[in-house]
Structure 1
Amino acid sequence: MRDKIRIASGQGFWGDLIDAPYNQVTKGEIDYLVMDYLAEVTMSILQKQKNKNPKFGYARDIPALMKRILPVCKEKNIKVITNGGGVNPIACAEAIIDSAKEIGIDNLKIGVVVGDDIKDRIDEIIETGCELNNMETGESIKIVKDELLSANVYFGAFPIVEALKQGADIVITGRTTDTGLTLAPMIYEFGWEADNYDLLSAGTIAGHILECGAQSTGGNFLGDWQSIENMAEIGFPIAEAYPNGEVVITKHENTGGKVSFETVAEQLVYEIGDPKSYITPDCIANFSTIKLEDLGNNRVKVFDIKGEKDTPTYKVSCSYSSGYSAVGTLAYSWPQALTKAKAADKILRKRLENLNLKFDEINTDFVGYNATQGPLSAEIDEDKINEIMLRIAVRSS
């Protein structure tokens, strides 16, 4: 068993900083490069692409990216793990093999994790007594079953662990949890058991810190963000993991950004609900037990994490066809920019009514006033507003 491993984040979403993976494998020592591509909306985008072309359905920038980093990864024995396989991980793996052959690499071992796509098994699953009810509304999936575009189970770390055990240099998955990408190499390298929920939770929280790329190295920092240097060349986070579950979050030297108590703490509360019950397929991590220690020099220790047994069920992410939408924008300048925009909104709505156009939903935002804060937006002095962008959107099934 190794005494530590270094796991580097290379992507936090599809379309993230294109140089980040190359920088992670070249600017310092790492053992694993993990790349998270999948937001929920990404799955529906990829499914639409696959419906048009059965060879698509994955993040198609991956083959070119792998072509660039593979020589370094082979030289340094760096393994790559990514969920960029989307809804077509096998096609993604085949494209990587083709790219590798173009640069003379033909002994590549790629592990592919499949089985998360359950779209064609919905009826079978319902017949077993699992209603697949909406987590928020309780409505049955039967309401939208005929309009489903995709249905994917969130897998955790252990299918990736199995691929690593079989000698994979690269592991391509579909809908795997963001945290599972980082947890998997810890389980594999340190031999963590599936029922050691404290250790699994420690790896899960490390994955949560890494999953959004440069957010934890200052990219999403709301504190003294103006003082962070060289944001244009921000370094992505690295988890220096140890067998006892302790993790040190850091980044490569001579890169931009900042790793501090504050930047890591802020990422910890990003996109979580109950901090005592962060549910994953591998465990339920308790964020309220986390301790942080700023070691200085862009190093923060994360430790003393507790967790509980995983739930007996998996979460499923579904997308379905719900009609069409249209969006229009128009800018209004000083004076009375907001008043003009509000008047235009009323005019547009009246014209739609006069045309007898029926919509399921109409939504108006005044960008520069309430587009992000909505009803919580404070009143403003209109004389001090330079401009307002009216944004009106409609949806119809």
Structure 2
Amino acid sequence: MIRIGYPSGYWGDDQAAPSRMLESAADLDYLAMDYLAEITMAILKRQQERDETLGYARDFPALVEKLLEDLVDQDVTLLANAGGVNPESCKDAVMEVAANADADVSVAAVAGDEILERIPGLREQGIEFDNMDSGRSFETVADDLVAANAYLGSFPIAEALDEGADIVVTGRCIDAALAMGPMIHEFGWDPDQYDNLASGLVAGHLLECGAQVTGGVFLDDWEDVDFMEMGYPIVEMDADGEFVVTKPDGTGGLVNEATVKEQLVYEIKDPNAYHTPDVTADFTTPQLNQVGENRVRVTGCEGTAPPESLKVSALYRDGYKAQLLLTYSWPDALNKAERADDVIRGRLDRADVALSEIRTEYVGYNGCHDGISPRPEDPNEIVLRIAVKADGKEAIDSFGKTAIPIAIAGPPNVTPLVSGRPDPEPVLSFWPCTIPRDAVEPTLTVESTGVN
């Protein structure tokens, strides 16, 4: 059996959680941390364009510095996709931290996922990158593309561990790969052991959002969950693919069948066929059983062969956006906000402001449940949110100049939620597509500090 802790579900998660897990969880073998979302890749790409040595989560090396002594003393291997669009530079930064601490460790970088510069040549070979959801032609966004990364699987991570890596950083891979890689390495699972790989995928999927599986954002009985010292998840995986989801003793949060089920169905699309680079898993097959306090055993996972293509997460420049936020207070708060919206829209029409999209929400009434919630009789306050999008900055500037005078030239009892005129923000839109798996070649570099 191996024990994998997962104290980070995204870049910006609780920075103290990894240290707490190392302190409170006994006999951990691996610590895995997720940093990446689609928009994160675009942010990191912009940073790399300003400085070619950047493009990774720059707070990760500092975190390694805090954790390093405990990782070495407890013989815990650390894995993270903090490499972003520049895993090699991330590895170098971690190596510098380890060398300065006189720590004898090996650090690996798994890369090869970034395909942006290769797309023109791949298209000449006949590979199309049309939108896999809408069918829209890639030609419509080709000139505005800013990032394109294929989702790598788990076997390159397992190879890094086979090479003796103590710390593994990756670029874009499926989130579950950070947990599956150690399982493949430890148990020697082959690429065609689909049921075992499906078990690893289910386990990694349950881990990948951190505290979501241990009571975070839990829909049922959330009032009784201790959120102050949230316990982050641990998976105890057996070689046969059966595993237990748990958390460190004495920590907050909750692990039961309901918390595990909620995470199991998170972002899976077709539950009968969850496609990844390593396996296609049937998420209707796992059986869950409560086997102790904060311990849920998962068995029966089944899988089949993976698809012949890999998913690509691409981002393209898609104009500019801004939002206006105004709070209207009782009495007649909603009526005031609706009147203000009418006036602002009328002024925008009169000024012929070239907006491509405009959306109004009345937060406190329909910001979450538009068209479903009943109209409140007389709420204490309503936040008027007007969001706009345009092809160019000029239209967004005009929106701000036209809309903000409503603060004194409009309905009463109003205060801006944020100060100043709305500024244009660039929009980066998501473009999902696919690429043949044999067109993507993962790379691996492993380097040792050589201290001892």
TM-score using structure 2 length: 0.85
Alpha-carbon distance in structure 2 between the residues aligned to 1:237 and 1:161 = 21
Corresponding position: 1:395 with 2:393:
no
Tell me the residue number matched to 1:132: 129
Amino acid at match of 2:375: I
2:350 corresponds to which of 341, 350, 354: 354
CA displacement at 1:94 relative to structure 2: 1.2
Tell me the residue number matched to 1:258: 254
Would you say the 8 A contact 1:31–1:79 is kept in 2?
Answer: yes
CA displacement at 1:190 relative to structure 2: 0.4
Tell me the residue number matched to 2:30: 32
Would you say the 8 A contact 1:66–1:96 is kept in 2?
Answer: yes
Corresponding position: 1:386 with 2:386:
no
Tell me the residue number matched to 2:198: 201
Amino acid at match of 1:220: V
What percentage of aligned pairs have identical amino acids?
Answer: 47
Would you say the 8 A contact 1:24–1:30 is kept in 2?
Answer: no
Tell me the residue number matched to 1:11: 8
> Can you list the C-alpha shifts for 1:220-246, whole angstroms capped at 9, x where unaligned?
2100111123x1110100000000000
Corresponding position: 1:93 with 2:91:
yes
1:41 corresponds to which of 39, 42, 52: 39
Alpha-carbon distance in structure 2 between the residues aligned to 1:355 and 1:56 = 43
Greater RCO between the two (CA within 8 Å, min separation 6)? 2
Structure index of larger Rg? 2
SS at match of 1:289: coil
Corresponding position: 1:237 with 2:233:
yes
CA displacement at 1:332 relative to structure 2: 0.8
Tell me the residue number matched to 2:243: 247
> Can you list the C-alpha shifts for 1:181-206, whole angstroms capped at 9, x where unaligned?
11111111001110111110100000
1:304 corresponds to which of 255, 280, 300: 300
Alpha-carbon distance in structure 1 between the residues aligned to 2:266 and 2:326 = 33
Alpha-carbon distance in structure 2 between the residues aligned to 1:178 and 1:200 = 14
Alpha-carbon distance in structure 1 between the residues aligned to 2:338 and 2:52 = 46
> Can you list the C-alpha shifts for 1:287-313, whole angstroms capped at 9, x where unaligned?
100100001221100110001100000
Would you say the 8 A contact 2:365–2:376 is kept in 1?
Answer: no
> Can you list the C-alpha shifts for 1:308-363, whole angstroms capped at 9, x where unaligned?
10000000000111111111100011112112111111211122222221011111
Corresponding position: 1:332 with 2:338:
no
Alpha-carbon distance in structure 2 between the residues aligned to 1:370 and 1:174 = 39
Provide runs of 4+ in structure 1 moved above 4 Å: none
CA displacement at 1:101 relative to structure 2: 2.6
Tell me the residue number matched to 2:422: none
Amino acid at match of 1:248: V
Would you say the 8 A contact 1:338–1:382 is kept in 2?
Answer: no
2:119 corresponds to which of 117, 122, 125: 122
Amino acid at match of 1:177: I
Structure 1 segments unaligned to the other structure (5+ residues): none
CA displacement at 1:374 relative to structure 2: 2.5
Would you say the 8 A contact 1:328–1:392 is kept in 2?
Answer: yes
Alpha-carbon distance in structure 1 between the residues aligned to 2:71 and 2:177 = 21
Corresponding position: 1:21 with 2:18:
yes
Aligned length: 390
Alpha-carbon distance in structure 2 between the residues aligned to 1:373 and 1:208 = 28
> Can you list the C-alpha shifts for 1:71-98, whole angstroms capped at 9, x where unaligned?
1111111111111111111111111122
Tell me the residue number matched to 1:64: 62
Tell me the residue number matched to 1:113: 110
Q: Which moved more, 1:311-320 or 1:334-343?
A: 334-343
Would you say the 8 A contact 2:206–2:264 is kept in 1?
Answer: yes
Q: Which moved more, 1:22-31 or 1:260-269?
A: 22-31
Tell me the residue number matched to 2:285: 289
Alpha-carbon distance in structure 2 between the residues aligned to 1:333 and 1:170 = 53
CA displacement at 1:372 relative to structure 2: 1.9
Would you say the 8 A contact 1:260–1:296 is kept in 2?
Answer: no
Alpha-carbon distance in structure 1 between the residues aligned to 2:361 and 2:51 = 36
Alpha-carbon distance in structure 1 between the residues aligned to 2:362 and 2:338 = 8
Tell me the residue number matched to 1:150: 147
Alpha-carbon distance in structure 1 between the residues aligned to 2:376 and 2:140 = 47
Corresponding position: 1:322 with 2:353:
no
Alpha-carbon distance in structure 1 between the residues aligned to 2:332 and 2:191 = 62
CA displacement at 1:133 relative to structure 2: 1.1
Tell me the residue number matched to 1:50: 48
Alpha-carbon distance in structure 1 between the residues aligned to 2:362 and 2:148 = 35
Corresponding position: 1:218 with 2:212:
no
Amino acid at match of 2:165: A
Would you say the 8 A contact 2:4–2:234 is kept in 1?
Answer: yes
Tell me the residue number matched to 1:280: 276
CA displacement at 1:381 relative to structure 2: 2.5
Structure 2 segments unaligned to the other structure (5+ residues): 392-452
Amino acid at match of 1:396: A
- Aligned-residue CA RMSD (Å): 1.1
Alpha-carbon distance in structure 2 between the residues aligned to 1:388 and 1:56 = 42
CA displacement at 1:55 relative to structure 2: 2.0
CA displacement at 1:270 relative to structure 2: 1.2
Q: Residues 368 and 381 from structure 1, CA distance in 2 versus in 1: closer, same or farther, beyond 3 angstroms? A: closer
Alpha-carbon distance in structure 2 between the residues aligned to 1:189 and 1:350 = 65
Amino acid at match of 1:309: A
SS at match of 2:99: helix
